[in-house]
Every structure is written in structure tokens, then in C-alpha cells.
Amino acid sequence: MASCDTRKEFTFVIIGGGISGVSCVEYLSSLCSEETIALITATDIVKATCNLKKFGRTLEEFDVEERSASLLFEQSPNVVSIQSVVVGVHPQEHSIITESGNKYYYKKLCICTGGTPNLITRHPCVIGIRDTESVLQLKSKLSQARRVAIVGNGGIALELVYEMYDCQILWAIKDKTIGNAFFDEGAATFFLPHIESNQQVWKEKKKFMTHTVKRMKYGIETVENNKHEACYHGNPSNTLSGGALGPDWCSDFSLCGASSKEKGYRQVHVEYKCEFKQLLNPEELKRCGEKESPFPSLNESLLDSADWPVYIQLSNGKIYGCDFIVSATGVVPNTQSFVSCAPFDTAEDGGLLVNSNMQTNLVDIYAAGDVCTFGWDPAPHWLQMRLWSQARQMGMFAAKCIAAHFSNEKIPLDFCFELFTHVTQFFGYKVVLLGKFNAQGLGNDYELLLRCAKGDEYVKVVLHEDKMCGAVLIGETDLEETFENLILNQTDLSAIKDILLNPEIDIEDYFD
């Protein structure tokens, strides 16, 4: 990394220190090593990919590290890290403005500012989970909590429900099954015993400790701000820390409540097909004349007459007292600083609309990751989900496009956009999602093949016209590469679909 100077002009400027932004900078630096690159981040701590494992044609597993930008790019003399927040962009003069008043000029700009928590409401008893700071806040509040309400049904909510113990958990979801963004009713049923388990949490997790599955690791790195201080524009503190929530953050954070009677047990009550309505304080609850709903408990006498600092009312009319509420209802694209001062085209979900070369409608401005929404005709078996895997893919492809366009070259859409793939973990199980894994966009014109071994694995295949178009693999199935090829090749499975999921048959033998 180049030491800080008075330079205000760069060939490339990347905004955002998440996976998409850092992936873009890393790859762009390797493609254009002679060109100057500025990475502008709100904090010095950024998220970097490591231990990348590629298998199949599109499948990837990787770890995510929390690193100091100054250390991560210290071997890249063409990269400068600027610690500040961008508050405006001026496309006509190819410049951006930071909160400290500095103006930087670019030839190509890539916006990778990610998403912000979609809070159900702003209230002292409501926290949104997105980064390491919010997890530390959660851990602090949880240590004194008897009951917590979680609103939302996505990946973060799934992780929280599984990891929290020694407190009661009210889980409010708008769907009829848990994990609706990832799972159908069958897969949700497979996971339910782990939520309802009366086994102590550490005993339940012990059986997963011998699995050799690579897990995405998130944590905190603290860096003393000494000789690298010159690399920042802004006001870095003496000690910098940062991070983000991800599928294995629990290894760094013990999410233990304050109930001594629970003794390491998870106690979850799910309210299905309902949404958040409002919050009430004790006085408001008395004035409205409503009664608190009883919480189903293994320890009926535990909290029967408890006084709660806040009450959550759901759309089904039920009211539960709790110590605080976690809003885990997803994220919204973090675009405000850009759309407020420039005529960006945006999608219905608020994301910056990009074409098949990750370009926005404004000249020389690109976007990647959670902040953007694709605007091209997608491949039949690809869809956008705001996940770490796609953030990396988009960031790297944006770098390819920027480098190609800078050299006046054309570039086709990357092969990674041919098939949706995501490898993660839920409830201790390896989870692989392929293609239209929930038959997205197929209406009723599809066929499902299922295989389930309770407590071990769950396999679902989506067929359309006797060809595989999606799959959900839970557990150690070893089917992901074979199924990936079957989807990409659109192999006719009419002759073998009856035995496709037979565990006694090695399906790979049919396609050697």
C-alpha cells in the first residue's frame, strides 16, 4: 500500500470495505498493477476472502477474515486506503466528496457500500444485526436478558435462534415455515427438532464438531494504529476494530442469556404467519387494556409474573413481554449517499440498477454486491440473493469489467452467473443451494424428488421437463458437483429419475 500523499486523483476508486469492495480492489490491483486505486472505507477494518476452495465449475467455499486495510494491502504499492465516509458523488466531473470535505477524482468508480439493516422500528429496545459492533451490543444485552424476541426469517434469524441459550426466545416470522428464503416445508421440518430440542446446546453441537466441512469464519481483528496512520484520510482512533456477522460468528461470541434455570438449554417459541405491529411500554399496555400472552415454557413458574421493559404486539393480536427485540428482517441497499445527489437508475428493491457489465446508468460508475440489483436477462438457473458468495463474485467481475473497459475492450458476462450456487451452514449442517432451489419462477410446472434421513441429511431436487433446474442439499451428501453438472448440462433424466436419489446407487457412474 502506498503511503498517504496529497494525491486527490486516482485511476480507480472503490467505495466500501465489504467482501465485494475488497474483492474488487484485490483483483483490480492484479489486473492493473500500474494504475492507482483508492479504497474508501468507513473504518480501517475490512473483510477479506481467504482459504478459497473451488470445486465443480461454479461452487466455492471460503473463509472471511476481518483485516486492517493498511495491512491487507501493504504489499500493493498502487493501492491507497482512505478511511472516511462518502457523502456525495458528482458524475459529470468524475469526483466524490467525503464527510471530511475532501474531494477525490476518478476515471472509474465502483460503489460497493453493501446494505443496511431493515429495522422494524427505531427504539432503544430494538437492535439490528449486521456487523461486529451490533453483535457486541447483542451479547451485552443478552447477558442480562430473560426473554428475547426475534423478528425475521432469514439467515441471521436462523443463526440467532440456534445459537442463543439460557433465555426464552420468541421468534416471529411472517411465513408458515422457518427459513422460508432458503427452505421449503420439508427442509424446515428437518431442522425443527433442533429448535425444539430439550438437549443442552453444547451436547447437541458436539456431534457436529468432528465434521470436516469448511466454515465461513468471522471475527474481530484489532490493530494498533501506529505507522500505518499516514495511510488514512479522516480521524482514525488509536485502536481500530470492526467486523461483520456471518455463518460462523458464533465461535467468537457466546450468546448466553441470564436465566439460571435454563442451564444451557435452548427454549424457542415460534409464532408463524405474523408480523410486527407495534411496541408498548408497561404503561401503554395497561392503558390499552390488552393482556400479555402466556409464553409456552418448560419452566411454567419461571416468568409468570415478570415485569418487562417492553412488550411486542404481533399482527395476530398476541402480545409478549421481553427484555429486548432483535430486528432480523434483512437489509436494504445502502444507496442514500448516491441517489440523493445523482440521477442513478434504481430497481424496485432500491438497489442501484446495473447491466451485464456491472455498470450503472452513469458513465464510468459501476456497482457490486448488496448495493446493486441486476438489470440483465438472467440465465435460466441464476437468481440474485444478497449473500457473501454473490458479493465476492460481483466484486471480482466488476474488477474484470473495469479493467477491460479501461483498455477499451469488451467482456462477456462471467460464467459464475450461469448458475446460482451457495454453500453455507445452518444448525450445524452443511447446506448447498443450487439453481432454482425453491422452484423460483416455475409456477406449478415442476416435479420434486426428495430423500430424507432424519438427523443426517435432506436432499431435494427440482425437475422441469425431466431436467434438473435446482437442488437443496443438507448434510454430507457429496452430490453437489454431480448435480451442478446435471443442471448446467440440462441432462435428460427421464430414464433415471426414479433412482436418482437412491442412496445405494452411485449416481456419478451414470455420467462418467
Position 339 scores a pLDDT of 96
**Cβ atoms of 209 and 177 closer than 8 Å:** no
Q: What are φ and ψ of residue 376, in 5° steps?
A: -105, 170
Position 477 scores a pLDDT of 94
Position 215 scores a pLDDT of 40
SS3 280: strand
Taking CA atoms, 41 is separated from 69, 74, 84, 132, 511, in Å, by: 9, 16, 6, 16, 48
Taking CA atoms, 167 is separated from 171, 243, 343, in Å, by: 13, 26, 48
Q: What b/e readout covers 35-73, taking b as 16+ CB neighbours within 10 angstroms?
A: bbbbbbbbbbbbbbbeeeeeebebbbbbbbbbbbbbbbb
**Cβ atoms of 69 and 46 closer than 8 Å:** yes
Position 256 scores a pLDDT of 87
**Cβ atoms of 27 and 416 closer than 8 Å:** no
Within 10 Å of residue 16's Cβ, how many Cβ atoms?
30
Position 209 scores a pLDDT of 56
Q: Which residues pair with 15 in a beta bridge?
A: 40, 111
Residue type, position 69, single letter: A
Residue ranges with strand state E in 56-212: 59-68, 79-83, 86-90, 95-98, 103-111, 115-117, 126-128, 147-151, 167-172
pLDDT tens, per residue, the chain with 512 residues: 554 445 699 999 999 999 999 999 999 999 999 999 999 999 888 998 888 889 889 999 888 888 899 899 999 999 999 999 999 999 999 999 999 999 999 999 999 999 988 899 999 999 998 766 777 888 899 999 999 999 999 988 998 998 898 999 999 999 999 999 899 999 999 999 888 766 667 666 665 555 534 343 333 333 333 333 333 333 333 333 333 454 455 555 678 888 755 577 788 999 999 999 999 999 999 999 889 999 987 555 455 556 899 999 999 999 999 999 999 998 899 999 999 999 999 999 999 999 999 999 999 999 999 999 999 999 999 999 999 999 999 999 999 999 999 999 999 999 999 999 999 999 989 999 999 999 999 999 999 999 999 999 999 999 999 999 999 999 999 999 999 999 999 999 999 999 999 988 888 766 65
| β-pair type (86-90, 239-240) | unpaired
Residue ranges with strand state E in 155-232: 167-172, 223-224
Report the predicted TM-score, pTM, of the whole model to 2 decimal places. 0.88
SS3 338: helix
Look up residue 162 and give its three cell numbers: 440456534
Render pLDDT for 46-93 as a digit per residue (tens, 0 to 9).
998 888 889 889 999 888 888 899 899 999 999 999 999 999 999 999
Render pLDDT for 277-289 as a digit per residue (tens, 0 to 9).
999 999 999 999 8
3-class secondary structure per residue, 355-389 = CCCCECCCCCEEECHHHEEECCCCCCECCCCCCHH
**Cβ atoms of 220 and 443 closer than 8 Å:** no
Q: Which residues pair with 67 in a beta bridge?
A: 46
CA atoms of 162 and 248, how far apart (whole Å): 12
Taking CA atoms, 91 is separated from 306, 344, 362, 381, 404, in Å, by: 57, 10, 7, 35, 20
Domains of the chain listed by start with CATH number: 9-114+334-407 (3.50.50.60), 118-212+241-330 (3.50.50.60), 436-510 (3.30.390)
**Cβ atoms of 389 and 60 closer than 8 Å:** yes
Q: What b/e readout covers 473-504, taking b as 16+ CB neighbours within 10 angstroms?
A: bbbebebbebbbebbbeeeebeeebeebbeee
**Which of these, 497, 438, 475, 398, lies nearest to 12 by C-alpha position?**
398
SS3 416: helix
Residue ranges with strand state E in 202-351: 223-224, 239-240, 266-271, 276-280, 310-314, 319-322, 324-327, 331-333
CA atoms of 110 and 356, how far apart (whole Å): 14
Taking CA atoms, 458 is separated from 1, 429, 473, 474, in Å, by: 47, 10, 6, 5
DSSP code at position 296: P
Position 225 scores a pLDDT of 38
Dihedral of alpha carbons 351, 357, 360, 364, sign: positive
Taking CA atoms, 305 is separated from 283, 293, 294, 321, in Å, by: 16, 12, 10, 10
